[in-house]
Amino acid sequence: MIKFKDNFYFGSASSATQSEGAWNIDGKGQNIWDYWFETESFRFHNNIGPYETSTFYKNYKEDIKLLKETGHNSFRFSISWSRLLPNGFGEINSKAIDFYNNVIDELLANKIEPFINLFHFDMPMCMQNIGGWENREVVNHYASFAKICFEHFGDRVKRWFTFNEPIVHVECGYLLGYHYPYKVDPKAAVQVGYHTALANALAIKNYRELNGDGKIGIVLNLSPCYPRSENKWDLKASFIADLFANRSFLDPAVKGYFPTELIEIIKEHDLMPEYTESDLNIISENTVDYLGVNYYQPRRVAARASLPNPEAPFMPEYYYDYYIMPGRKINPHRGWEIFEKGVYDIAINIRDNYGNIEWLITENGMGVEGEEKFLVDGIIQDDYRIDFYKNHLKWLHKGIEEGSNCIGYHVWTFIDNWSWLNSYKNRYGLVSLDLSNQKRTIKKSGRWFKELSEKKGF
């Protein structure tokens, strides 16, 4: 039997924009997703936006009962900055305070430990209008928002995260055009990345100055970078890919400084951000207590087969090509590679290169398009998802047995939820959601997850 410790965290993750709904009631301000859907709904799959999502705001009590029914002893959710502070700073929305207090209290009453994340891609539009993460002033407003959350909820919440997957709003918002403000501007991307690392450190500083008795960390989507071969140029390609995809946030968050090799590349391409030595000191002095890791798929790269276009805007792919490994295992419903050993490689990397800091898997999951085809007698028979979890947990357990300090496993996600530009195209939940009537039904994987949590293994 694969057995985990009795105090191991089993749960799931969600985010405010993807689950709450209630986008324009009870004083909530507009965020970038509300605005983008309002102005360009065609960008979203089936023209479904973030307005209702999975109605957690309205149905949180029912949903928390379902969390209990699916074996959760912990649950990560995020606080909507634009709900709490409709103007980005200043006056606090009392109805938001009431809502998040009610959610926290309901979780605790059901013996489910709350993990709170402060930023999950959902910049308030009023903050974006003054430059978003490009603007140093917004960094200060975020730090103030974080402090307000600590002051109001820190008496009961002992596990905090500053950001979820900060590399995503850098890449997708400022390099690839997938997320608002959909820029292709490498200079802005570097500035946004630097300011986000600084915002993380300022939030940690505020938390510690309040003498909180919990822990604060950051959630990073780590994708191990594997070279096509042991050829030195393939190895160099994977090293550089790792600098951009993983170490750009992992090193400053855990070690307090940016990788020297990354800085050299940024300088070479004349992309250095505006910075101050005092801000660099804040980053160096305020590192995380623990780490959240989202893992979905590996990143496989090879040495470039052709010279980059010198006239094109800089992209990390200047230094490598993506490589499709022959014979790879793949999720046929989503198109992503499935490589379970990746969690083991992450575990050993954290053990050996990052001081064996305490960490947990904060997201791991399998998205399926058209999942209704697996419906039998009213229940989604998602054995494929159970197998996905089992195979990742086997490798995670091996890493723990070899000394990696992993304390939990959270899946993405509890209930089928709205997913940015894909809206409801791919379903990830332990619980299925009928969009026509908001009916919730536990899938086969949800029943299995309860057994996993109760037995602390399988």
Residues acting as catalytic residues: 165, 363
Q: What is the rounded CA–CA span in Å between residue 265 and residue 285?
A: 25
Are the beta carbons of 136 and 195 closer than 8 angstroms? yes
- Assigned token pair, 174: 């400022």
Are the beta carbons of 442 and 42 closer than 8 angstroms? no
- Longest distance between any two alpha carbons in the chain, whole Å: 63
> Phi-psi region for residue 4, left (φ > 0), alpha (ψ -120 to 50) or beta?
beta
Q: What is the rounded CA–CA span in Å between residue 288 and residue 77?
A: 19
Nearest to 82 by CA among 35, 54, 136, 123: 123
Paired with 79 in beta bridges are none
Residue whose token pair is 């295992």? 329
Are the beta carbons of 357 and 288 closer than 8 angstroms? yes
Paired with 415 in beta bridges are 431
Distance of CA 134 to CAs 43, 128, 143, 181, Å? Answer: 24, 9, 15, 11
Q: What is the DSSP letter of 244?
A: I
Are the beta carbons of 423 and 49 closer than 8 angstroms? yes
Nearest to 20 by CA among 99, 98, 97, 132: 99
Residue 289: is it exposed, middle or buried by C-beta count within 10 angstroms (0-12/13-18/19+)? middle
Distance of CA 172 to CAs 175, 276, 300, 423, Å? Answer: 6, 26, 19, 16
Residue whose token pair is 């951000």? 273
Are the beta carbons of 1 and 457 closer than 8 angstroms? yes
> Phi-psi region for residue 259, left (φ > 0), alpha (ψ -120 to 50) or beta?
beta
Distance of CA 41 to CAs 34, 127, 233, 388, Å? Answer: 10, 21, 43, 33
Compute the radius of gyration of the chain from its Cα atoms.
21
Distance of CA 450 to CAs 21, 71, 283, 308, 446, Å? Answer: 27, 4, 40, 50, 6
